[in-house]
Structure 1
Amino acid sequence: MLLRAVRPLRRPRRAWRRWKAAHPRTVVAASYTLTALAFALIVAALLLPNKSVQFRLVMFTRIPVEALIGAAVLLALPRRVRPWVAAVAGLGLGVLTVLNLTDVGFNEYLGRSFNLILDWELLDDAQSYLGDTVGGTTAMLATVGVIALIAVLIAAMVWATVRVSALIGRHRSRSSRVLLVVSVVWMTCSALDVQFSGVPVASEHAVAMVRYREQAVRETIRDEREFAKEAKADAFGATPPEQLVPDLRGKDMIFTFIESYGRSAIEDPVMAPGVNRTLDESTRMLEQAGYHAKSGWLTSATYGGSSWLGHSTFLSGLWIDNQNRYRTVTSGDHLPLTKVFRKTGAWDTVGVMPGVQKGWPEQKYYGLDKVYDAFALGYRGPKFSWSTMPDQFALEAFQRLEHGRKRDKPLMSEVILTSSHQPWGPIPKMVGWDELGDGRIFGPIAKAGNDPKKLVTDSQRSKEEYGKSIQYSLTSLTQWLARYGTDDTVLVFLGDHQPIARVSGDHASRDVPVSIVAKDPKVLEKIAGWNWSDGLRPAHDAPVWKMDAFRDRFLTAYGSTPRPSNG
């Protein structure tokens, strides 16, 4: 019985041997091809850039010193040990390749590299965003495809290094001579700084990338310790409630973040004409309603995404540029701007967060008595890709649920507007304020809008639609203010970060516009020394502050007395 079971397994092997014997040239050609492919995979992995702008052919024509060192090590190893060491090296090279490719995506969308310690949870956010953009099924298939691709890539690297190590072992003498010649060429090119199209021929790229990641891990750990100490000190932490923002007592304060509203919207030649026209028209409309504005620039702590880092930086007065810092500050007692108003006891506080679709424990840190998330605003219309509802509806719901109510105290509100979130398709359109209802009026608008899948790879169209989305958000906000604002309304609005590089460009700044709007002339007189521009459009040369500087300057301008706390 055992022999009968073994015989069928032997037949394919015998057939394969007979085929090889009958086609020797084909076998040799295939062997050479596979070996060349293995060499190419290894060299490409060792030279692979981690930014899309560096993907040029010349980057892959360099001589990687890591390949020379690896070949020397394999030559020195015993025959039995060699394949195991090669497999481990291939595994490491595969992981490095995956990390470099991940960096490409992070640099494209967030303007920075992937952080090995902090960024794993962002992968889940990326999948959710993809689901909102192209659909849940497609997003799931894409996720499975990416996982499969990673597995295949790592397996291919292991196969490549094992195959090359076997070749080196079979031809030790010839391999040694080739290694010596190539090493001499590498050292000569390195010593003479030989370059081709501005790129050094002698490369140490893989070593540099490993060193870079190791340094990033150490800096992340060090930064966490140092920031924990920094967050405990607060220039206004011990200020008595009656000495906080006395010059704003009786005002309804509204702090509004507009998603991805960056300097590029105002200065890029594709987006600027429409956005600036909207800003100028809105300025005139608000002036007719009795409002005046001052505008400047803030440099955001984030770029392309991770909006919560920009929000927390602006409100806390601390530079929050990574997830560890965010967790540290939101779990501590450093006083955010929103909580200042609650601490006085003179304001009710509320948050309007249409982008929040799950539990949000940060509510306590920000000092918000009540938060309206995506499910509490009464919206029954369609989603607009990632955005759960149009900004116009969110603002009308804010008016209906909180701002328009009679109350014993003025209201301090934090409002997050999301219609300008990527991928900028479909984009809502303004409808009559009295026609909003429960939001179902937006159904035909969403159906008639652009398919987001057609925008994500088209930079020109992305710019155009991004500009339209900013115009929509600005129009929604300023029309709401002109319609519902009072003599005591003070609106502070700003962008949280610049849009992704596909829209803002590879070397865009991190600046975002910020404006303060009020009817009471005394409110703007308090910030006359800031030298901000008149109106909603900041001039190109208007002052630029880091975003974390705003809180203390704002509190000081409106009469707060510093009383430092040291934790």
Structure 2
Amino acid sequence: MTRVAALAILFLVLIQPNHPQAMTWGALAVFPLELPVIVAALLAFGPGRAGIALRILLVAAIWTIAVLKLADFATFTAFNRGFNLVVDYHLLPAAWMLAQGSLGGFLSWLALVAIVLGLGALGWLLWWATGVLARVQMPKPARVLAGALVPVTAIVAVAEIGAARGAWTLPQELRPPGAAFTARVGLERVEHAIVARRDLARFVTASQNDPMVQIEPGLERLGTRDMVLIFVESYGRSSHENPLYAPTHRATLRRAEAKIGQAGLAIRSGWARAPMVGGQSWLTHGSVASGLWLDTQSRYRALLASPRRTLFHFAAQAGRRTVAIMPAHVLPWPEGRYFGFDAIYNADDLGYRGQPFNWVTMPDQFTLTAFERLEQSRPDRAPLVAQIALVSSHAPWVPVPQLLPWDALGDGRIFDPWALSGDPPEVVWRDHDRVRDQFRQATDYSLETVGDWAARQGDTAPLIVVMGDHEPARFVSGVDGFDVPLHVIGPPDLLALFDGLGWVQGMLPDPATPSLAMDALRDLLLTRLSTDAAP
């Protein structure tokens, strides 16, 4: 029985899927072609020193790839892509901060301890299983035969890997009865790391060559008006296409459109393409600001080390005051200095004294009034170019505030009844249907708030660019793709500068309108709003 258990452990680890859609009972029907290679090698080397060395190598390799498959599973669930060791190591502290904000300290530490113990148990089980097979008593001729089977079974596994990767085609009668999936994942992760390093080198070169530097755009067409870029967390095409959300969100956008129109403002709407889904909003913020495609943390870090000038550098050069309103930042943001902001307002700087909404530090309505109080109402100020990153529609989406009278917010304690209401995230997140409904409500609150804020700007309304930062995780969004809605709101004369882009009037973008990559927005804004850089 111990040998059967040892084989079962190796079998299960080797067939372990790395994608949520592959986590089915059908995975048990896939025979791992690495298993005969491993068993033959353990039998051939036996329990001696050579066998111990082999076991160390095997356990280290299998355990490492198993952990990478778990990481793949997590990133496929959250971001719809596999895990890359070179560019994704930063996700661990980010996930830890999100867990603490959503689940609380005790449950977060409990989960971390469980994960560490589980990974340790996996390593011990692999060591035990390989030891059981290596200690099988066999005569010397049988061990020689096992050794001869190692290259034969390895060739079969290599043939399957090559066929699966498209390196060659095998006739039906020669296709192996299984898959060398674990070995293939290990090989692919090495290749991904090499490709990521090469891509990073190309990105560094691109960051140092900026054609806008030669143009020196001055944003003259804005005149004395402000420009405000508002990012709505997790607002994507799913709000317009998923039947779970579209009826609610599109109705809210229609009401906002009517209010904004009554205020004498015009609207254009289209689509932008985000560099990721599920999280890492700063990659979208950085892509828009820099005009470079930031789809990995390594690219983001390379940008921070480059001489690339952002939208806010050009705005400051044109005599405008540049500010960032970042309510999600509960820690200092030293990277913000790179982007060229004159002032950065993190969570503690915005004056909110109410209760947090779990991970969300404050409601979007308070964030927007803080911007009015801290910047828009300043006497004798220069025109603003501001970035505001709203967070009420950020996971875990519980609880959800309500839109209140704008002049009644005070220091934010008026929101406490909503902040302390309802089930906590650890209860809601046991049911995916409840999670999706909370997302619907939270995003609807954000859209209602932004629309109401834009409508109340009056005669001195800024040019307002509203866009989603990314889709939520796929199990929430229910749609493929990376598109997010883009709304430009402002005085009709300014909105006319964006004609010819295929954007439609109103708050409901045409589904057929091609999306504009986020890294094209910097140059689009600079050229459309500057006389010397007009397209």
Cα distance between partner residues in 2 of 1:89 and 1:125: 31
Question: Aligned match of 1:371 in 335, 339, 344?
Answer: 344
Cα distance between partner residues in 2 of 1:283 and 1:215: 49
Whether contact under 8 Å (1:88, 1:158) holds in the other structure is no
- Counterparts of 1:291-302 in structure 2 under 5 Å? 291-302=265-276
Amino acid across the alignment from 1:358:
L
Cα distance change on mapping 1:362 and 1:78 into 2, 3 Å: closer
Q: Alpha-carbon deviations, 1:256-275, whole Å to 9, x = none? A: 11111111111100011100
**1:550 aligns to what?**
521
1:208 aligns with 2:179: no
Question: Aligned match of 1:50 in 10, 13, 18?
Answer: 18
Cα distance between partner residues in 1 of 2:140 and 2:408: 80
Cα distance between partner residues in 1 of 2:177 and 2:231: 48
1:276 aligns with 2:250: yes
SS at match of 1:383: coil
**1:4 aligns to what?**
none
SS at match of 1:118: coil
SS at match of 2:123: helix
1:238 aligns with 2:211: no
Question: Aligned match of 2:500 in 529, 543, 551?
Answer: 529
Cα distance change on mapping 1:408 and 1:127 into 2, 3 Å: closer
Cα distance between partner residues in 1 of 2:255 and 2:64: 53
1:88 positional shift? 2.7
- Counterparts of 1:20-31 in structure 2 under 5 Å? none
Cα distance change on mapping 1:75 and 1:417 into 2, 3 Å: same
* Percent sequence identity over aligned pairs: 33
Cα distance between partner residues in 2 of 1:172 and 1:55: 41
Cα distance between partner residues in 2 of 1:192 and 1:84: 38
Cα distance between partner residues in 2 of 1:238 and 1:428: 47
Question: Aligned match of 1:74 in 42, 55, 59?
Answer: 42
Q: Alpha-carbon deviations, 1:436-483, whole Å to 9, x = none? A: 111111111122234211332422222221121111111111212222
Whether contact under 8 Å (1:299, 1:510) holds in the other structure is yes
**2:166 aligns to what?**
none
Question: Aligned match of 1:219 in 185, 190, 195?
Answer: 195
1:103 aligns with 2:72: yes
Whether contact under 8 Å (2:41, 2:147) holds in the other structure is no
Whether contact under 8 Å (1:237, 1:334) holds in the other structure is no
1:59 positional shift? 2.1
Cα distance between partner residues in 2 of 1:353 and 1:246: 27
Q: TM-score, normalised by structure 1?
A: 0.87
**2:167 aligns to what?**
none
Cα distance between partner residues in 2 of 1:256 and 1:423: 21
SS at match of 2:259: helix
**1:515 aligns to what?**
487
**1:10 aligns to what?**
none
- Counterparts of 1:13-162 in structure 2 under 5 Å? 32=1, 34-77=2-45, 79-80=47-48, 81-162=50-131
Cα distance between partner residues in 1 of 2:402 and 2:352: 16
Point out the structure with max Rg over C-alpha.
Answer: 1
Whether contact under 8 Å (1:186, 1:202) holds in the other structure is no
1:134 positional shift? 1.2
Q: Alpha-carbon deviations, 1:143-181, whole Å to 9, x = none? A: 121111111111111111121222375797499589979
Cα distance between partner residues in 2 of 1:438 and 1:200: 68
Whether contact under 8 Å (1:235, 1:562) holds in the other structure is no
Question: Aligned match of 1:249 in 207, 210, 223?
Answer: 223
Cα distance between partner residues in 2 of 1:235 and 1:431: 46
SS at match of 1:294: strand
Amino acid across the alignment from 2:489:
V
Whether contact under 8 Å (1:102, 1:114) holds in the other structure is yes
Amino acid across the alignment from 1:35:
R
- Counterparts of 1:497-516 in structure 2 under 5 Å? 497-505=470-478, 508-516=480-488
- Counterparts of 1:252-401 in structure 2 under 5 Å? 252-345=226-319, 347-401=320-374
Q: Alpha-carbon deviations, 1:221-264, whole Å to 9, x = none? A: 11121111011011212333xx4222112111101111111111
Cα distance change on mapping 1:561 and 1:362 into 2, 3 Å: farther
SS at match of 1:238: helix
Cα distance between partner residues in 2 of 1:59 and 1:176: 31
1:101 positional shift? 1.0
Cα distance between partner residues in 2 of 1:43 and 1:168: 22
Whether contact under 8 Å (2:44, 2:146) holds in the other structure is no
Whether contact under 8 Å (1:245, 1:558) holds in the other structure is yes
1:98 positional shift? 1.4
1:202 positional shift? 2.2
**1:22 aligns to what?**
none
Tell which deviates more after alignment, 357-366 or 488-497. Answer: 357-366
Structure 1 unpaired stretches of 5+: 1-31
Tell which deviates more after alignment, 168-177 or 533-542. Answer: 168-177
1:184 positional shift? 12
Cα distance change on mapping 1:485 and 1:452 into 2, 3 Å: farther
SS at match of 2:135: helix
1:276 positional shift? 0.3
Whether contact under 8 Å (2:156, 2:176) holds in the other structure is no
Amino acid across the alignment from 2:33:
V
Aligned residues: 523
Whether contact under 8 Å (1:194, 1:202) holds in the other structure is no
1:282 positional shift? 0.2
Cα distance between partner residues in 1 of 2:531 and 2:137: 74
Cα distance between partner residues in 1 of 2:328 and 2:122: 36
Cα distance change on mapping 1:337 and 1:560 into 2, 3 Å: farther
1:428 aligns with 2:397: no
Amino acid across the alignment from 2:525:
F
1:405 aligns with 2:378: yes
Cα distance between partner residues in 2 of 1:104 and 1:120: 15
Q: Alpha-carbon deviations, 1:316-360, whole Å to 9, x = none? A: 111001111101112322122222211111x11111110111121
Tell which deviates more after alignment, 215-224 or 176-185. Answer: 176-185
1:490 aligns with 2:463: yes
SS at match of 1:486: helix
SS at match of 1:448: coil
Cα distance change on mapping 1:407 and 1:331 into 2, 3 Å: farther
Cα distance between partner residues in 1 of 2:533 and 2:209: 12
Tell which deviates more after alignment, 332-341 or 422-431. Answer: 332-341
Whether contact under 8 Å (2:90, 2:297) holds in the other structure is no
Cα distance between partner residues in 2 of 1:332 and 1:249: 31
Tell which deviates more after alignment, 78-87 or 466-475. Answer: 78-87
Cα distance change on mapping 1:488 and 1:277 into 2, 3 Å: closer
Question: Aligned match of 1:470 in 428, 434, 443?
Answer: 443
Tell which deviates more after alignment, 440-449 or 415-424. Answer: 440-449
Cα distance between partner residues in 2 of 1:287 and 1:450: 38
